[in-house]
Amino acid sequence: MPRIGIIGGSGFQQLLGLDGSEVVECETAFGKPSSPLTLGKIDGVPVAFLQRHGVGHVIPPAAINARANIAALRQAGCTQVLSMSAVGSLAEDVPPGHFVLVDQFIDRTLMRDKTFFGPGLVGHVPFGEPICARMRATLMDSAAVVDVSARNGGTYVVMEGPQFSTRAESHLYRMWGGTVVGMTAMPEAKLAREAELCYALVAVPTDFDCWHDAHEDVNAQIVGEQMKHIGESAMRLLGEAVRQLGAHHGACPCGCDRALDTAVMTTPALRDPEMFCRLLKVAPNASRLSSHGE
C-alpha cells in the first residue's frame, strides 16, 4: 500500500498515534529535507511524517528546502501528500479553530526554489486547480465524521515573511478574496504537482491576522497558544483523513499523477540528461516522457 505523506507546520512537531514508528534520516538529489521522516502506520495505513520547519522549529519559511521535502516523501513511497498549515484568517466566518480545506492559492513569495525544472529541461505543469479534488472531498467527509468545523474551499494567500502582515496588506488580501494568509504553502504545492503527487492542504487558522479588532495584532505567542487548543481537533481530523485516504487506489481522477503529460517543452534530443535524471527521482513515471514515447 502506498504511503501518505504528512507535512506538519507550527504545532505539529509530534505526530501522535503512529504504530511501529521509525525515524529515518534521508538525503535527496535536492539536499536534505527539513527533518528526518517518521515512518509508521495509522490504523494500518502507512504514513511518512515530515516537520516542515525542522525539529524544534528552527527553519524560517523562506529557507525551507521544499524541493528536498517533496523528494524525500516521494522516495519514501508516498503518492498522496496531506499538508497541515497554521495560518491567519482573513474572513469573519472563519474564526480561529475553524479549519479551511484550501482549493486555491495566491503566491506572493519571491526568494524560493519553486521548480524541479530549469535550463536544459523546461516544463510548465497545469496549475489552475492546485489541490487534488478527490483528496479535498475525502477531507470534507472526514471532518463530518469526527465533527470538526471545516470550510470546503478557500484561497490561501502565501506571503514571503518572516514578518507578519502590515494592516494595509491584510486588508488588501481580503480585497483579493483571500480566506487565509500564511508563509509556507508555496512552493510546496507547486512542487507536489511537478512530482505528480496528489496534494491537499488543511489550513488551521490561529488568529485574525491584524485586520480584525477581536484580538491584538497576531504574534508568535498567539499562534503557539492557539495551536495548543486546536491541536486535538486537528489530530482527530488527521487520523480520520488518513484512514479514508488509504482507500484511494488507481489513477487519480483529477490527473495529478499525470501532470507531466503535457508539461515538458524541451525537444527530447536537447534535454539535459542530468536534469532529467533528477526529475525521475521525484516523478519516477516521467520515464514515459523519453524520446521513445514522443
Q: Which of 113, 141, 147, 207 is catalytic?
A: 207
d(CA 140, CA 131): 13
Burial classification of residue 83, based on how many CB atoms lie within 10 Å of its CB (0-12 exposed, 13-18 middle, 19 or more buried): buried
Three cell numbers written together for 201: 492542504
Three cell numbers written together for 26: 534521508
Q: How many helices (H) and strands (E) does the chain have?
A: 6, 11
Indicate if 209 belongs to the active site: yes
**Cα angle: 145, vertex 146, 151; to 5 degrees:** 85
d(CA 257, CA 283): 9
Backbone phi, psi, residue 62, to 5°:
-70, -15
With a CB cutoff of 8 Å and minimum separation 6, the contacts of 67 are 28, 30, 31, 113, 116, 187, 191, 282
Q: Which of 103, 107, 209, 257 is catalytic?
A: 209
Indicate if 141 belongs to the active site: no
Are 209 and 90 spatial neighbours (Cβ–Cβ below 8 Å)?
Answer: yes
The residues carrying an active-site annotation are 207, 209
